[in-house]
Amino acid sequence: MALAPQTTFAPVGDILAHQILPRLRLAAKLPLRITCIGTARYVGTDEADSFDRSVFLGDRPSLENATSFAAVSVRRGGIGVRQDKTLRFHPRFAVIQDNDQNLVLAGEIRAGIILWQQPVASDGEARRIVTEASRLRGLAFAASGRGEQRAARNHRHQAGLLEARLVDPFWREAAADLLRLPQAA
């Protein structure tokens, strides 16, 4: 009598390689840190006196939690520098980073909504984006040197939009999958 081969158990090496190690890698990258990047200025000053500022919003245990938390924080409004009541903050980008400070997901803030940017699909696309963002930052530097602060800020903003797509390779697939879901839009 011949016994049928046992197919209900996976080899230990497969379990380790495909289930345990990916979970350990993910756990090492958590929690995710949510930050808003924008411009700040004191009450009574004009736009030329504004400056760039980052505001920490919080940490979350997963990408889904982080995007939801960021969306609620932005929609609710009132993101700002709490220590100084005379300082007004205008958020421009929401950024999610992992524990190693790698970019997980980023998006532009418009009218209280985060427009998450689609991550690059390949390293080649990432190189093209870095080249274009560098060109825009060069234009911003030149505009700033000529005293054209508004043009400089616009060039930096456009470069930031491109750089928001430079998601770390570890997170690209998860971020792209999340953005395909209807509630992430």
Domain ranges of the chain: 29-117+168-185, 120-166
Average pLDDT over the chain, rounded to an integer: 87
* Residue 97 pLDDT > 90: yes
Q: What is the mean pLDDT of residues 143-161?
A: 93
pLDDT value at position 46?
78
* Residue 2 pLDDT > 70: no
Residues 128-141 have pLDDT tens digits of 999 999 999 999 99
pLDDT value at position 14?
67
pLDDT value at position 92?
94
* Residue 176 pLDDT > 90: yes
pTM: 0.82
More confident residue, 164 or 78: 164
Please tell me the number of Cα atoms within 13 Å of 176 on its side-chain side. 13
